[in-house]
Structure 1
Amino acid sequence: MINTSTSEHSDRSSIHDRWIFIAFLVLLAWIPLPLGSNKLWAMSILCCGALFISAAWLYLFSLNKVVISKSIKNSLPVIALFSTAPVFAFIQSAVSSDNPLGSVDSYASAQAGMLGISFILIFCLALLLVNSQKRIKLLAYTLVFCGLFQAVYGSMMTLTGIEYSFLIPKDAYTRLATGTFVNRNHLAGYLVLTLSLGIGIMISTLNLQSASNWREHSRRLLTTLLGPKARLRILLIIMVAGLVMTHSRMGNTAFFASLTLAGLITLFLSKRSTKATIILISSLIVIDIFVVGTFFGVEKVAERLQTTSEETETRDEVNAYTLTAIQDNLFTGTGAGTYYTNFPAYREYDAGRSFYDHAHNDYFEFASEYGIIVTGCLILAVLLVFISAIKAQMKRKTPLMRGIAFSATMAIIALAIHSTVDFNLQIPANAATFMVILALGQISLFHKKDINSPQRTQRAQRKSQSL
């Protein structure tokens, strides 16, 4: 006999939290729209949304209608490491500024702590709600379509000359794709994150078995040209075109570098990779650079890279002064969210006339605000997810799990590169999306195969018949 109690319980859980999952997808789709949620009112909506959805799930849990997933149980060390940031932010905001642990702006630190709690809730909600392969695909496609919208919207604003960000005319970065973000680099960061998901899903659809004859080759070719893979590939091309039109130097560099590195890691580690994977990754790089770039301005990105110099950039000076600020508050920082308050005390005239509310380096900004201990905890948390994604590519047999493991690997590498010269993790939309992808990295390793899947049911039936 087949033990169906676990399967039935899983089905009931999925039914009861279906609307919570839909609300979670709606929240993720909303977050990038209001200027990347980088305004106080938009942050408030993000925080309230995450708290409300979490409370709804906890209510169902109290009624014994949903269960704690294996993925979140195995992610407790990661959650604990991430939690050090908001907990420390609240401590900084609570103590006096005369105390070494005190913040120079307690209100900003409390706000940063609340935002940090929201990111952790989003991470946990993804681990709890994304409990089937169907939901993994729905989540991935939701974010891919969000990236597609941003790419199309940003490109159309640039091509038509009617340039609006989010219901207001653009006053900066005109003639450049910014989507509903203010800064082109942050649109580039968001597109790279969503592209990594799209490419991972594309990889999961590859047929890893060699074709036996010409008919099989023909059938696969037609499926590739006319099937869902072709439509997804077209979406990815549009998104890459939008990425190129941002003219973001490090955004484009991070995309192609992370795609190449993640592809090499996949080919080296996965025992099931074939020439199909090599062809896909190669085509993504070659076609996107030489075809998409020809029409949408990759030469302008290259020109910006060539003309970058110490004379035209002040980020080197800003980083140098930020390092001095870090050394003065090495272990405790100056308080979460206080970079814009603390940096003017350290800057000199050679940093230019611009007002810096963020360091153009996420590592330096976190270290400046939280100190090196909490910053190290955050880096370690991301590293643990990276290891999980690598293990998933080595061990998992399910194509979808290997695909989202690739997505997590690529996203981590891309943001690790981009964060050296920009502040994507200070933009709520990008930080929240990154937390979801990190959760998928954990799911790729720890998610159990669907208990009620047809393949497993058939195997169980054959086993019971043999007994």
Structure 2
Amino acid sequence: MNSSTASHRSSVSDTPDTSLFYSFLVLLVWIPLPLGSNKPWAVSLLCFAVFTLAIIWLLLFIRQRINLTPTFLSSLPVAALLLCAPLWALLQVLLNITIDAATTLQDALLGCALVGLFCLTTLLVRSKRRIRLLCYALVGSGLFQAVYGSMMTLTGVEYLFFVEKEHYRGLATGTFVNRNHLAGYLELTLSVGIGMMISTLDGVRSVNWRDFFRRTLTTLLGNKARLRIILVMMVAGLVMTHSRMGNSAFFSSLAIAGVLALILSRRSTKATIILISSLIIIDIFVVGTFFGVDKVVERLENTSENSETRDEVNTYTLQAIQDNLFTGSGAGTYYTNFPAYRKYDVGSIFYDHAHNDYFEFASDYGVVVTGCLLLAVLLVFISAIRAQIKRRNPLMRGLAFSATMAIIALAIHSTVDFNLQIPANAATFVVILALGQISLHLKSRGHRSRGP
């Protein structure tokens, strides 16, 4: 009987795409390590890995060993909208309407890889176990980045990915070059972690105050305390970046997503309120006291029009957008195009990116394709909102919260930075978009798949 049970477990775990799924997780953890994959060789490796996984999945599908998932089929409109960007980039090269064909072609390949990541997530993450494994992989990656960045700062021995830091010394950057991009990555992974924390709440209303406090203490100090401690460490890493908008976007998105969750949920409990409140209060006043939230506040207070040139950069970028309103200057060509529009009042700094993702996409791709990308994100946001209204499964509700919070956080941060131009952050974001679709469309029953 024991051998029969072992044989059954072996057959259950050995599904055709199990190795493919674990390879997918390894890839997601790898992407942030080589400087956020923001180097040509790292981008090439990322594209090669994604295309290889996609080809293997297609071979399994052709051999009828795996099937299309309902989540993938329901997410085709989102995938089609995301695909508009790399397809248009290819057309920019073919029609010779880009000012740098080589860079535009590279961006087209990266765009295809990002859409491939979105599709692979909806195809491979087809069970609750796989959802948890993916979420814990992202949270674990975020934890590593936070701890690594913090330790480099606290010890004074500051290295990136086997390369000594040249910029932002004394500030947490993890394996990213720019502290704002570590902040953006932590915003995304913290959103996933908080969603997982919320999914552990039982949703049962307390019968009295004694029961309420018992449940609350169990949530904050029980077996779930490990995840809570991980979140505290990640927030400490975020605070130590001293990123103004990174911290502002995180706490704002947490508050907004928390209020939305309480409004939309018909099963909201006092435990949910306590959890969200503790995340804000404990992280700001306890973590911030030891890890420098006062430095972030000081930077916010000292921000002025005289000390910032981003407003001027945005003004000149708008002129560039108007000159190529519908076609764009070419994907990835901002650094080549912007010098023709900049003036002396932006200083001597070389801007390889606009400090505004919306403006940079519009400048590179044109307003139509940028609108398609925004619509794709909006569709996922609506799916996450609908999931919080309709789904009763705690895991799906937590997943929907993660997607909602991540979208709000990056929507805010993108107004003053270029996180979506960094491959690691863009890749993580499209995976979370896929999780938003999964939160609504993955069937709790009736579409069970074997294996992890």
TM-score under structure 1 length normalisation: 0.92
Q: Deviations over 1:309-338 (max 9, x none)?
A: 111111111100000000011010100000
Superposition deviation, residue 137 in structure 1: 0.4
Partner of 1:4 in structure 2? none
Partner of 1:184 in structure 2? 179
Of 165, 171, 177, 2:166 maps to: 171
SS of equivalent to 2:169: coil
Aligned partner letter, 1:50: V
Partner of 1:92 in structure 2? 92
Aligned partner letter, 2:197: M
Q: Deviations over 1:260-313 (max 9, x none)?
A: 000111111110111111111111001100000000000000000000011111
Q: Deviations over 1:342-398 (max 9, x none)?
A: 000000011111111100000000000000000000000000000000000000010
Superposition deviation, residue 219 in structure 1: 6.1
Partner of 2:105 in structure 1? 110
Q: Distance in 1 between matches of 2:120 and 2:152?
A: 34
Cα 1:206/1:179, change in 2 over 3 Å: same
Q: Deviations over 1:42-68 (max 9, x none)?
A: 001100010011111111111111110
Of 352, 377, 385, 2:347 maps to: 352
Of 319, 323, 327, 2:318 maps to: 323
Partner of 1:17 in structure 2? 17
SS of equivalent to 1:16: coil
Partner of 1:463 in structure 2? none
Q: Distance in 2 between matches of 1:110 and 1:353?
A: 29
Of 408, 420, 425, 2:420 maps to: 425
Q: Distance in 1 between matches of 2:279 and 2:439?
A: 23
Cα 1:383/1:225, change in 2 over 3 Å: closer
Partner of 2:56 in structure 1? 56
Cα 1:208/1:348, change in 2 over 3 Å: same
Partner of 1:271 in structure 2? 266
SS of equivalent to 1:228: coil
Q: Distance in 2 between matches of 1:188 and 1:134?
A: 28
Aligned partner letter, 2:349: S
Cα 1:212/1:418, change in 2 over 3 Å: same
Partner of 1:44 in structure 2? 44
Of 276, 280, 299, 1:281 maps to: 276
Q: Distance in 2 between matches of 1:353 and 1:424?
A: 23
Cα 1:452/1:47, change in 2 over 3 Å: closer
Percent identity between matched residues is 67
Aligned partner letter, 2:54: S
Q: Distance in 2 between matches of 1:16 and 1:219?
A: 44
Partner of 1:243 in structure 2? 238
Superposition deviation, residue 95 in structure 1: 2.1
Superposition deviation, residue 195 in structure 1: 0.2
Superposition deviation, residue 226 in structure 1: 5.1
Q: Distance in 1 between matches of 2:184 and 2:213?
A: 38
Q: Distance in 2 between matches of 1:212 and 1:325?
A: 62
Counterpart mapping for 1:150-165 below 5 A: 150-165=145-160
Q: Distance in 1 between matches of 2:447 and 2:107?
A: 42
Q: Deviations over 1:437-466 (max 9, x none)?
A: 00000000000115487xxxxxxxxxxxxx
Q: Distance in 2 between matches of 1:13 and 1:452?
A: 17
Q: Distance in 2 between matches of 1:268 and 1:217?
A: 20
Partner of 2:77 in structure 1? 77
Superposition deviation, residue 207 in structure 1: 2.1
Cα 1:370/1:173, change in 2 over 3 Å: same
Partner of 2:219 in structure 1? 224
Q: Distance in 2 between matches of 1:71 and 1:385?
A: 12
Q: Deviations over 1:115-134 (max 9, x none)?
A: 00000000000000000000
How many residues are aligned here?
A: 439
Kept after mapping to 1: 8 A contact 2:358/2:414: yes
Partner of 2:395 in structure 1? 400
Cα 1:367/1:215, change in 2 over 3 Å: closer
Superposition deviation, residue 190 in structure 1: 0.1
Q: Distance in 2 between matches of 1:201 and 1:424?
A: 24
Cα 1:221/1:378, change in 2 over 3 Å: closer
Residue 365 (structure 1) aligned with residue 369 (structure 2): no
Cα 1:219/1:303, change in 2 over 3 Å: closer
SS of equivalent to 2:68: coil
Superposition deviation, residue 227 in structure 1: 3.6
Cα 1:175/1:35, change in 2 over 3 Å: same
Superposition deviation, residue 25 in structure 1: 0.1
Partner of 1:293 in structure 2? 288
Gaps of 5+ in 1: 1-7, 97-101, 454-467
Kept after mapping to 2: 8 A contact 1:151/1:242: yes
Superposition deviation, residue 217 in structure 1: 5.6
TM-score under structure 2 length normalisation: 0.95
Superposition deviation, residue 94 in structure 1: 1.7
Point out the more displaced range, 274-283 or 375-384. Answer: 274-283
Q: Distance in 2 between matches of 1:217 and 1:330?
A: 57
Kept after mapping to 1: 8 A contact 2:220/2:228: no
